[in-house]
Amino acid sequence: MSVSHHLNATSEQTRCPSTSQPVKTHRSRFFLEPETVYLRLGGSSGIHQAQVTDGDKNEEHLFKVHRYFLERDSELFRGMFACPPTQPGANTEGQAEETAIHLPCVTPFELECLMSFLYEGMYDRIVSLEEWVALLSVASRLLFDKIRERAISVIETHIPALEPAEKIVLAAKHDIPQWLAPSFTELCTRSDPLTEDESSKLGAETAKQVTRARDLVKLRVGYGQPGGVGFSMSFAGCGCKDCRQARSESARASYMVMVDSIIKETIALP
């Protein structure tokens, strides 16, 4: 006897016979409507040219996905779906291909990353750094706040780390101020100068400011070191291991204060 037959037989034995129909209750959380919506990318007012390949520039891309995920996780879509149709009886936006919801400046790759996360995020998928950056971008634009927070957290700790210039661009674009100071500090204290690619990403003015800050840091390279500017003799100690460690920590702290001061004075943070 199958499990279902056994349960039914047991239930019949323990309840009083009744000819009435069972009461059906819709569970509000898990009685989902199978509604899908159409999303459209590209077109005349669609994706910015710098974000797409040549093959995508003159194409429209249609997606058909479940409304539930969009409404659950995005403030933007919740507000959109809450609006009544403009005309009674008319197809609301997203109910047909002809009325697909247009998402300007979202790339097919970004939306595919978003949908993969929504539909498959519970599984141990290997997500590349490029995909996390795409998720950050699309989640920020479409107000998927929890996915945005997850992307920020993963990118911050990802190994290998995101390049500092790229991090600065993303921080300015998507309002992540906590990335700015550490990224500028890395650019201003490393031995290698800015590359052409980094200068291009940062823009001419910001690249010029970073170069100026690097020069100032080099001029004060002895800051906080024994015999250098800003070194307090009170930390000289006796030369034991503890004193040497204290001097090292004090010098490092003084050096970082100096670098932070130069960055604030020289670079106009976005």
Q: What is the pLDDT of residues 88-144, one digit of tens each?
A: 655 678 999 999 999 998 999 999 999 999 999 877 778 899 999 999 999 999 999
68 Cα distance to chain centroid:
21
Give 47's pLDDT tier (boundaries 50, 70, 90). Answer: very low
The parent domain of residue 227 ranges over: 187-270
pLDDT value at residue 42? 85
Task: Kindly state whether residue 242 falls inside one of the protein's structural domains.
Answer: yes
Q: Give the Cα separation of 166 and 158 in Å (integer).
A: 14
pLDDT value at residue 84? 74
- Model's pTM, two decimal places? 0.74
Task: Kindly state whether residue 239 falls inside one of the protein's structural domains.
Answer: yes
Task: Kindly state whether residue 83 falls inside one of the protein's structural domains.
Answer: no
Least confident of 20-29, 47-56, 194-203: 47-56
Check: CB of residue 114 under 8 Å from CB of residue 144: yes
Give 3's pLDDT tier (boundaries 50, 70, 90). Answer: very low
pLDDT value at residue 234? 45
Nearest alpha carbon to residue 33 among 81, 76, 74? 81
Q: Is the pLDDT of residue 13 over 60?
A: no
What total of structural domains would you count in the chain?
1
Tell me the range of 42-51, 54-63, 68-77 where mean pLDDT is highest: 68-77
Give residue-wise pLDDT tens across range 138-184: 999 999 999 999 999 999 999 999 999 999 999 999 999 999 999 99
DSSP code string of 48-114: -GGGS-TTTTT-EEEEEEEHHHHHHH-HHHHHHHHSPPSSTTSPPTTSSGGGPEE-TT--HHHHHHH
Average pLDDT, the chain: 81
